[in-house]
Amino acid sequence: MTRSILHRSGWHAAVSTALCVVLACATPNTASAHEPDAEEVALGSLVDAELAFARMGAERGIREAFLANFSDDGIAFEPAPVRLRETWRARPAPADPLEPKLAWKPAQAGVSRSFDMGYTTGPFTLSSATQPTPRHGVFFSVWQRARGGPWKVMLDAGITTPGAVDFAQLGAAPRPRFAGRANAARERVTILDGESQALGGGLTPNDYARRVAADVRLHRDGAPPIASRTAVAPAIARAMSRVSWTPIDARVSAAGDMAFTYGRYRQTDHDQRAVDGYYAHLWLRDGSGKWQLAYDIAIPATPP
Protein backbone atom coordinates (compact mmCIF):
# COMPACT_ATOMS: atom_id res chain seq x y z
CA MET A 1 0.00 0.00 0.00
CA THR A 2 1.03 3.60 0.00
CA ARG A 3 1.86 6.20 2.48
CA SER A 4 0.68 3.53 1.34
CA ILE A 5 -1.33 2.10 3.97
CA LEU A 6 1.34 -0.34 4.91
CA HIS A 7 4.08 1.87 3.62
CA ARG A 8 3.14 5.48 4.27
CA SER A 9 -0.21 5.08 5.59
CA GLY A 10 0.73 7.24 8.48
CA TRP A 11 -1.45 10.05 9.82
CA HIS A 12 0.06 13.51 9.88
CA ALA A 13 0.38 15.04 13.29
CA ALA A 14 1.20 18.71 13.44
CA VAL A 15 4.80 19.75 13.20
CA SER A 16 6.08 23.29 13.16
CA THR A 17 6.74 24.87 9.79
CA ALA A 18 9.77 26.46 11.34
CA LEU A 19 11.37 23.04 11.89
CA CYS A 20 10.90 22.12 8.23
CA VAL A 21 12.35 25.45 7.11
CA VAL A 22 15.40 25.01 9.33
CA LEU A 23 16.06 21.48 8.09
CA ALA A 24 15.26 21.88 4.40
CA CYS A 25 16.07 25.44 3.36
CA ALA A 26 19.16 27.48 3.32
CA THR A 27 19.71 28.45 6.92
CA PRO A 28 18.11 31.85 7.55
CA ASN A 29 19.78 34.60 9.52
CA THR A 30 18.60 33.88 13.05
CA ALA A 31 20.28 36.95 14.51
CA SER A 32 17.48 39.23 13.34
CA ALA A 33 13.93 38.96 12.04
CA HIS A 34 13.55 39.07 8.27
CA GLU A 35 10.86 38.89 5.66
CA PRO A 36 10.61 35.37 4.23
CA ASP A 37 12.13 35.02 0.78
CA ALA A 38 10.43 33.27 -2.12
CA GLU A 39 11.96 29.89 -1.25
CA GLU A 40 10.74 30.07 2.33
CA VAL A 41 7.26 31.08 1.17
CA ALA A 42 7.10 28.19 -1.31
CA LEU A 43 8.42 25.73 1.25
CA GLY A 44 5.94 26.95 3.84
CA SER A 45 3.06 26.47 1.43
CA LEU A 46 4.22 22.92 0.69
CA VAL A 47 4.49 22.03 4.38
CA ASP A 48 1.06 23.57 4.97
CA ALA A 49 -0.35 21.36 2.19
CA GLU A 50 1.14 18.26 3.83
CA LEU A 51 -0.23 19.23 7.23
CA ALA A 52 -3.70 19.85 5.76
CA PHE A 53 -3.50 16.44 4.08
CA ALA A 54 -2.70 14.86 7.44
CA ARG A 55 -5.55 16.64 9.22
CA MET A 56 -8.00 15.50 6.56
CA GLY A 57 -6.77 11.95 7.00
CA ALA A 58 -7.28 12.07 10.75
CA GLU A 59 -10.73 13.66 10.47
CA ARG A 60 -12.18 11.99 7.37
CA GLY A 61 -10.12 8.88 6.82
CA ILE A 62 -7.43 7.64 4.50
CA ARG A 63 -9.55 7.18 1.39
CA GLU A 64 -11.05 10.66 1.26
CA ALA A 65 -7.78 12.39 2.13
CA PHE A 66 -5.73 10.56 -0.48
CA LEU A 67 -8.29 11.00 -3.24
CA ALA A 68 -8.47 14.73 -2.47
CA ASN A 69 -4.73 15.37 -2.31
CA PHE A 70 -3.33 13.24 -5.15
CA SER A 71 -3.13 14.52 -8.70
CA ASP A 72 -5.11 12.64 -11.35
CA ASP A 73 -1.94 10.81 -12.43
CA GLY A 74 -0.34 10.62 -8.97
CA ILE A 75 1.53 7.37 -8.29
CA ALA A 76 1.43 5.24 -5.14
CA PHE A 77 3.27 1.99 -4.43
CA GLU A 78 1.23 -1.08 -3.41
CA PRO A 79 4.03 -2.33 -3.83
CA ALA A 80 3.82 -1.95 -7.64
CA PRO A 81 3.24 1.65 -8.74
CA VAL A 82 -0.41 2.44 -9.50
CA ARG A 83 -2.37 5.58 -10.30
CA LEU A 84 -3.92 6.09 -6.90
CA ARG A 85 -7.12 7.94 -7.79
CA GLU A 86 -8.02 5.55 -10.58
CA THR A 87 -7.18 2.48 -8.50
CA TRP A 88 -8.80 3.55 -5.25
CA ARG A 89 -12.01 4.81 -6.87
CA ALA A 90 -12.51 1.36 -8.37
CA ARG A 91 -12.50 -0.18 -4.88
CA PRO A 92 -15.47 -0.13 -2.51
CA ALA A 93 -15.31 2.42 0.30
CA PRO A 94 -14.49 0.96 3.73
CA ALA A 95 -17.33 0.41 6.19
CA ASP A 96 -15.49 2.59 8.71
CA PRO A 97 -13.63 5.43 6.99
CA LEU A 98 -11.48 6.02 10.09
CA GLU A 99 -10.11 2.48 10.22
CA PRO A 100 -7.22 1.91 10.14
CA LYS A 101 -5.72 5.08 11.63
CA LEU A 102 -2.81 6.57 9.76
CA ALA A 103 -0.90 9.39 11.45
CA TRP A 104 2.02 11.22 9.85
CA LYS A 105 3.97 14.44 10.05
CA PRO A 106 6.37 16.19 7.70
CA ALA A 107 9.80 16.35 9.30
CA GLN A 108 11.76 17.67 6.32
CA ALA A 109 10.95 19.16 2.95
CA GLY A 110 12.54 20.83 -0.05
CA VAL A 111 11.48 22.77 -3.14
CA SER A 112 12.75 23.41 -6.62
CA ARG A 113 14.03 26.88 -7.56
CA SER A 114 11.00 27.18 -9.85
CA PHE A 115 8.69 26.40 -6.88
CA ASP A 116 6.62 23.97 -8.97
CA MET A 117 8.03 20.74 -7.48
CA GLY A 118 8.91 19.77 -3.95
CA TYR A 119 9.17 16.83 -1.60
CA THR A 120 8.18 15.99 1.95
CA THR A 121 9.29 13.18 4.22
CA GLY A 122 8.73 12.17 7.80
CA PRO A 123 7.48 9.49 10.19
CA PHE A 124 4.14 7.74 10.16
CA THR A 125 2.29 5.31 12.41
CA LEU A 126 -0.45 2.87 11.47
CA SER A 127 -2.85 1.40 14.02
CA SER A 128 -6.33 -0.07 14.19
CA ALA A 129 -8.90 -1.24 16.70
CA THR A 130 -7.68 -4.81 16.24
CA GLN A 131 -3.97 -3.84 16.30
CA PRO A 132 -3.71 -0.87 18.67
CA THR A 133 0.08 -1.08 18.93
CA PRO A 134 1.26 1.26 16.17
CA ARG A 135 3.45 0.16 13.29
CA HIS A 136 6.13 2.68 12.41
CA GLY A 137 7.44 3.84 9.07
CA VAL A 138 8.76 6.71 6.98
CA PHE A 139 6.97 8.25 4.02
CA PHE A 140 8.40 10.09 1.04
CA SER A 141 6.22 12.18 -1.26
CA VAL A 142 6.86 14.35 -4.30
CA TRP A 143 4.44 17.21 -4.93
CA GLN A 144 3.84 19.39 -7.98
CA ARG A 145 1.73 22.43 -8.73
CA ALA A 146 0.87 24.57 -11.71
CA ARG A 147 1.37 28.32 -11.51
CA GLY A 148 -1.21 29.66 -9.06
CA GLY A 149 -2.58 26.19 -8.37
CA PRO A 150 -2.58 23.98 -5.27
CA TRP A 151 0.09 21.44 -4.42
CA LYS A 152 -0.86 17.87 -5.37
CA VAL A 153 0.92 14.60 -4.60
CA MET A 154 2.59 13.13 -7.70
CA LEU A 155 4.38 10.23 -6.06
CA ASP A 156 4.14 8.60 -2.66
CA ALA A 157 6.34 5.77 -1.39
CA GLY A 158 7.16 4.59 2.08
CA ILE A 159 8.96 2.02 4.15
CA THR A 160 8.26 0.35 7.46
CA THR A 161 10.80 0.85 10.25
CA PRO A 162 11.46 -1.01 13.51
CA GLY A 163 10.56 2.07 15.55
CA ALA A 164 10.13 5.82 15.41
CA VAL A 165 12.78 7.68 13.37
CA ASP A 166 14.47 10.84 14.68
CA PHE A 167 14.95 12.97 11.58
CA ALA A 168 17.13 15.49 13.41
CA GLN A 169 19.85 12.84 13.55
CA LEU A 170 19.84 12.57 9.75
CA GLY A 171 21.06 16.14 9.29
CA ALA A 172 19.79 18.88 7.00
CA ALA A 173 17.59 17.76 4.14
CA PRO A 174 19.12 17.59 0.64
CA ARG A 175 18.35 20.53 -1.62
CA PRO A 176 19.16 21.47 -5.22
CA ARG A 177 22.10 23.81 -5.87
CA PHE A 178 21.81 24.41 -9.59
CA ALA A 179 21.17 28.04 -10.52
CA GLY A 180 21.73 28.02 -14.28
CA ARG A 181 19.37 27.84 -17.22
CA ALA A 182 17.85 24.50 -18.17
CA ASN A 183 15.61 22.78 -20.67
CA ALA A 184 13.35 20.55 -18.58
CA ALA A 185 12.41 18.28 -21.50
CA ARG A 186 16.07 17.68 -22.37
CA GLU A 187 16.95 17.04 -18.72
CA ARG A 188 14.18 14.47 -18.49
CA VAL A 189 15.77 12.52 -21.34
CA THR A 190 19.17 12.81 -19.65
CA ILE A 191 17.85 11.34 -16.41
CA LEU A 192 15.96 8.50 -18.10
CA ASP A 193 19.02 7.66 -20.19
CA GLY A 194 21.17 7.66 -17.06
CA GLU A 195 18.89 5.23 -15.24
CA SER A 196 18.53 3.01 -18.29
CA GLN A 197 22.32 2.67 -18.38
CA ALA A 198 21.91 0.59 -15.22
CA LEU A 199 20.30 -2.12 -17.38
CA GLY A 200 22.26 -5.02 -18.80
CA GLY A 201 25.18 -5.62 -16.49
CA GLY A 202 23.80 -3.20 -13.91
CA LEU A 203 25.56 -0.83 -11.54
CA THR A 204 28.26 -2.04 -9.21
CA PRO A 205 28.51 -0.52 -5.71
CA ASN A 206 31.28 1.78 -6.97
CA ASP A 207 29.12 2.90 -9.91
CA TYR A 208 26.28 3.57 -7.50
CA ALA A 209 28.44 5.59 -5.11
CA ARG A 210 29.53 7.88 -7.96
CA ARG A 211 25.90 8.77 -8.73
CA VAL A 212 24.70 9.73 -5.27
CA ALA A 213 24.78 13.09 -3.51
CA ALA A 214 27.00 13.67 -0.49
CA ASP A 215 23.84 13.91 1.65
CA VAL A 216 21.95 11.06 -0.05
CA ARG A 217 19.19 9.23 1.85
CA LEU A 218 18.67 5.49 1.53
CA HIS A 219 15.20 4.16 2.41
CA ARG A 220 14.91 0.38 2.66
CA ASP A 221 11.89 -1.48 4.02
CA GLY A 222 12.37 -2.81 7.55
CA ALA A 223 15.24 -0.46 8.48
CA PRO A 224 15.58 3.22 9.42
CA PRO A 225 16.81 5.62 6.71
CA ILE A 226 20.57 5.98 6.22
CA ALA A 227 22.00 9.43 5.47
CA SER A 228 25.20 10.55 3.69
CA ARG A 229 27.36 8.99 1.02
CA THR A 230 29.92 7.88 3.60
CA ALA A 231 27.27 5.72 5.32
CA VAL A 232 25.20 4.73 2.28
CA ALA A 233 28.08 3.57 0.05
CA PRO A 234 29.34 0.83 2.41
CA ALA A 235 25.77 -0.26 3.18
CA ILE A 236 25.14 -0.72 -0.54
CA ALA A 237 28.46 -2.52 -0.98
CA ARG A 238 27.51 -5.01 1.76
CA ALA A 239 24.01 -5.59 0.39
CA MET A 240 24.62 -6.07 -3.32
CA SER A 241 27.02 -6.91 -6.11
CA ARG A 242 25.00 -4.97 -8.67
CA VAL A 243 21.62 -3.37 -9.32
CA SER A 244 19.69 -2.58 -12.49
CA TRP A 245 16.93 -0.01 -12.89
CA THR A 246 14.15 0.00 -15.46
CA PRO A 247 12.54 3.45 -15.35
CA ILE A 248 8.83 3.84 -16.08
CA ASP A 249 8.57 7.63 -15.99
CA ALA A 250 10.33 10.81 -14.93
CA ARG A 251 9.23 14.36 -14.17
CA VAL A 252 11.50 17.41 -14.00
CA SER A 253 10.93 20.80 -12.41
CA ALA A 254 10.70 23.85 -14.68
CA ALA A 255 14.03 25.04 -13.27
CA GLY A 256 15.68 21.74 -14.22
CA ASP A 257 17.09 21.31 -10.73
CA MET A 258 14.80 18.62 -9.23
CA ALA A 259 13.37 15.46 -10.75
CA PHE A 260 11.76 12.22 -9.72
CA THR A 261 11.73 8.83 -11.39
CA TYR A 262 10.12 5.53 -10.62
CA GLY A 263 10.32 2.04 -12.04
CA ARG A 264 11.46 -1.54 -11.43
CA TYR A 265 14.75 -2.73 -10.02
CA ARG A 266 16.63 -6.00 -9.77
CA GLN A 267 19.29 -6.24 -7.07
CA THR A 268 21.76 -9.12 -6.97
CA ASP A 269 23.60 -9.93 -3.77
CA HIS A 270 27.11 -11.37 -3.40
CA ASP A 271 25.74 -14.93 -3.55
CA GLN A 272 24.07 -14.10 -6.89
CA ARG A 273 20.57 -14.17 -5.42
CA ALA A 274 18.29 -11.62 -7.08
CA VAL A 275 15.53 -9.52 -5.53
CA ASP A 276 13.00 -7.71 -7.72
CA GLY A 277 11.01 -4.70 -6.68
CA TYR A 278 10.05 -1.11 -7.35
CA TYR A 279 11.92 2.12 -6.76
CA ALA A 280 11.32 5.83 -6.42
CA HIS A 281 14.23 8.23 -6.89
CA LEU A 282 14.59 11.93 -6.26
CA TRP A 283 17.38 13.53 -8.28
CA LEU A 284 18.83 16.95 -7.44
CA ARG A 285 21.23 18.98 -9.55
CA ASP A 286 24.39 20.32 -7.94
CA GLY A 287 26.01 23.69 -8.54
CA SER A 288 27.96 22.40 -11.53
CA GLY A 289 24.82 21.05 -13.21
CA LYS A 290 25.41 17.36 -12.42
CA TRP A 291 22.39 15.25 -11.49
CA GLN A 292 22.88 13.35 -8.22
CA LEU A 293 20.65 10.79 -6.54
CA ALA A 294 19.37 12.38 -3.32
CA TYR A 295 16.67 9.90 -2.22
CA ASP A 296 16.66 6.21 -3.09
CA ILE A 297 13.53 4.34 -1.96
CA ALA A 298 13.26 0.63 -2.80
CA ILE A 299 10.28 -1.61 -2.05
CA PRO A 300 10.60 -5.38 -2.72
CA ALA A 301 7.92 -6.91 -4.93
CA THR A 302 7.60 -9.69 -2.35
CA PRO A 303 8.05 -8.80 1.33
CA PRO A 304 11.05 -10.57 2.91
Average pLDDT over residues 127-154: 95
Where residue 74 sits, what CATH number does that domain have? 3.10.450.50
Mean pLDDT confidence for 111-131: 97
Looking at the fold, whether 223 and 289 belong to one and the same domain comes out as yes
Same domain, 194 and 142: no
Residue 274 lies in a domain: yes
CB neighbours of 91 closer than 8 A, spacing ≥ 6?
none
| Domain hosting residue 83, numbered range | 17-170
Write the CA distances from 275 to 152, 208, 242, integer angstroms: 32, 17, 11
- Per residue in 10-35, pLDDT tens? 333 333 333 443 344 444 444 456 67
Both 165 and 60 in one domain: the answer is yes
Q: Is position 201 within any domain?
A: yes
Burial track 264-274 (b if 16+ CB lie within 10 A, e otherwise): bbbbeeeeeee
Classify residue 6: in a domain, yes or no: no
Choosing from 126, 143, 170, the residue where a domain stops is: 170
Range in 14-28, 195-209, 237-251 with the lowest mean pLDDT: 14-28
Residue 179 lies in a domain: no
Task: Give yes or no for residue 296 having a pLDDT over 50.
Answer: yes
Do 149 and 229 lie in one domain? The reply is no
| Within-domain flag for 9 | no
Q: Are 58 and 142 part of one and the same domain?
A: yes
Quick one: 256 and 138 in the same domain?
no
Indicate whether 74 pLDDT > 60. yes
Give pLDDT, residue 198. Answer: 76
Of 170, 192, 212, the domain-final residue: 170
Tell me the average pLDDT across 179-186: 96
| Residue 200 sits in the same domain as residue 161 | no
53 in Cβ contact with 65 (< 8 Å): yes
Answer with the one of 139, 170, 201 that is the final residue of a domain.
170
Instruction: Give the pLDDT confidence of 75-105 residue by residue, as tens digits.
Output: 999 999 999 999 999 999 999 999 999 999 9
99 and 223 together in one domain: no
61 falls within a domain: yes
Task: Say if residue 154 is in the same domain as residue 22.
Answer: yes
Same domain, 71 and 110: yes
Residues in the chain: 304
Q: Are residues 166 and 234 in the same domain?
A: no
Pairing of strands 117-127, 101-104: antiparallel
Burial 140-162 (b: 16+ CB within 10 A, else e): bbbbbbeeeeebbbbbbbbbbbe
State the pLDDT confidence band at 303, using cuts at 50, 70 and 90: confident
Same domain for 56 and 95, yes or no, is yes
Is residue 8 in a domain?
no
Position 29 in a domain: yes
**Nearest CA-CA partner of 155 in 262, 60, 54:** 262
Query: Into how many domains does the chain fold?
Result: 2
Residue 302 has a pLDDT of: 86
